[in-house]
Amino acid sequence: MDVDQQINVIPAEMIGERFDRIEKKIDKLSDAMISLARTEEKIMSMEVERSNVIERLNRHSEKIDSINDKVNDNTRVISNITKVTWIVSGSLIAGFLKMMGFM
Protein backbone atom coordinates (compact mmCIF):
# COMPACT_ATOMS: atom_id res chain seq x y z
CA MET A 1 0.00 0.00 0.00
CA ASP A 2 1.27 3.40 -0.99
CA VAL A 3 1.62 6.18 1.48
CA ASP A 4 -0.48 8.43 -0.79
CA GLN A 5 -3.48 6.14 -0.62
CA GLN A 6 -3.74 6.08 3.09
CA ILE A 7 -7.35 6.20 4.37
CA ASN A 8 -8.13 8.17 7.47
CA VAL A 9 -10.76 6.49 9.58
CA ILE A 10 -12.77 8.76 11.82
CA PRO A 11 -14.06 7.14 14.98
CA ALA A 12 -17.85 6.69 15.22
CA GLU A 13 -18.01 8.81 18.39
CA MET A 14 -16.56 11.84 16.59
CA ILE A 15 -19.00 11.38 13.72
CA GLY A 16 -21.89 11.18 16.19
CA GLU A 17 -20.73 14.33 17.98
CA ARG A 18 -20.38 16.12 14.67
CA PHE A 19 -23.88 15.11 13.62
CA ASP A 20 -25.19 16.29 17.01
CA ARG A 21 -23.60 19.72 16.49
CA ILE A 22 -25.00 19.93 12.96
CA GLU A 23 -28.44 18.93 14.27
CA LYS A 24 -28.30 21.62 16.98
CA LYS A 25 -27.38 24.23 14.38
CA ILE A 26 -30.24 23.11 12.14
CA ASP A 27 -32.60 23.35 15.13
CA LYS A 28 -31.40 26.88 15.84
CA LEU A 29 -31.92 27.81 12.18
CA SER A 30 -35.42 26.36 12.16
CA ASP A 31 -36.24 28.29 15.36
CA ALA A 32 -34.95 31.45 13.70
CA MET A 33 -37.07 30.78 10.60
CA ILE A 34 -40.17 30.25 12.77
CA SER A 35 -39.44 33.48 14.62
CA LEU A 36 -39.04 35.34 11.31
CA ALA A 37 -42.33 33.92 10.03
CA ARG A 38 -44.13 35.05 13.20
CA THR A 39 -42.57 38.49 12.92
CA GLU A 40 -43.65 38.72 9.29
CA GLU A 41 -47.22 37.80 10.26
CA LYS A 42 -47.21 40.50 12.92
CA ILE A 43 -45.90 43.05 10.44
CA MET A 44 -48.59 42.11 7.92
CA SER A 45 -51.25 42.41 10.63
CA MET A 46 -49.91 45.81 11.64
CA GLU A 47 -49.95 46.95 8.00
CA VAL A 48 -53.64 46.01 7.67
CA GLU A 49 -54.39 47.79 10.94
CA ARG A 50 -52.45 50.86 9.78
CA SER A 51 -54.46 50.95 6.55
CA ASN A 52 -57.70 50.81 8.56
CA VAL A 53 -56.52 53.64 10.80
CA ILE A 54 -55.61 55.79 7.78
CA GLU A 55 -59.03 55.12 6.24
CA ARG A 56 -60.77 56.11 9.47
CA LEU A 57 -58.65 59.27 9.75
CA ASN A 58 -59.61 60.24 6.21
CA ARG A 59 -63.30 59.80 7.05
CA HIS A 60 -62.90 61.87 10.21
CA SER A 61 -61.10 64.56 8.23
CA GLU A 62 -63.98 64.71 5.75
CA LYS A 63 -66.48 64.99 8.62
CA ILE A 64 -64.44 67.75 10.24
CA ASP A 65 -64.34 69.66 6.95
CA SER A 66 -68.12 69.30 6.63
CA ILE A 67 -68.67 70.51 10.20
CA ASN A 68 -66.29 73.42 9.58
CA ASP A 69 -68.34 74.50 6.56
CA LYS A 70 -71.54 74.34 8.63
CA VAL A 71 -69.94 76.36 11.43
CA ASN A 72 -68.86 79.04 8.96
CA ASP A 73 -72.40 79.24 7.57
CA ASN A 74 -73.87 79.46 11.07
CA THR A 75 -71.36 82.17 12.00
CA ARG A 76 -72.54 84.32 9.08
CA VAL A 77 -76.19 83.78 10.00
CA ILE A 78 -75.60 84.59 13.67
CA SER A 79 -73.65 87.70 12.69
CA ASN A 80 -76.56 88.91 10.57
CA ILE A 81 -79.09 88.11 13.32
CA THR A 82 -76.95 90.04 15.83
CA LYS A 83 -76.81 93.07 13.53
CA VAL A 84 -80.59 93.00 12.99
CA THR A 85 -81.16 92.63 16.72
CA TRP A 86 -79.03 95.69 17.50
CA ILE A 87 -80.76 97.72 14.79
CA VAL A 88 -84.23 96.77 16.07
CA SER A 89 -83.19 97.36 19.71
CA GLY A 90 -81.69 100.74 18.84
CA SER A 91 -84.79 101.71 16.88
CA LEU A 92 -87.09 100.70 19.73
CA ILE A 93 -85.01 102.60 22.28
CA ALA A 94 -84.89 105.68 20.00
CA GLY A 95 -88.65 105.48 19.44
CA PHE A 96 -89.28 105.13 23.18
CA LEU A 97 -87.02 108.09 23.97
CA LYS A 98 -88.75 110.18 21.25
CA MET A 99 -92.14 109.28 22.71
CA MET A 100 -91.00 110.29 26.17
CA GLY A 101 -89.82 113.61 24.81
CA PHE A 102 -86.09 113.23 25.40
CA MET A 103 -85.22 113.94 21.80
Nearest-10 Cα torsion for 77, 81, 84, 89:
-170
Tell me the per-residue pLDDT of 59-103, one tens digit each, with 9 for 90 and over: 999 999 999 999 999 999 999 999 999 999 999 999 999 998 876
Tell me the per-residue pLDDT of 3-29, one tens digit each, with 9 for 90 and over: 567 777 777 788 889 999 999 999 999
CA angle 88, 89, 92 (to 5 degrees): 85
**Residue 36 banded pLDDT, cuts 50, 70, 90:** very high
pTM of the model: 0.55
| Distance in angstroms between the alpha carbons of the first and the last residue of the chain | 144
Q: What is the pLDDT of residue 103?
A: 64
Chain mean pLDDT for the chain: 92
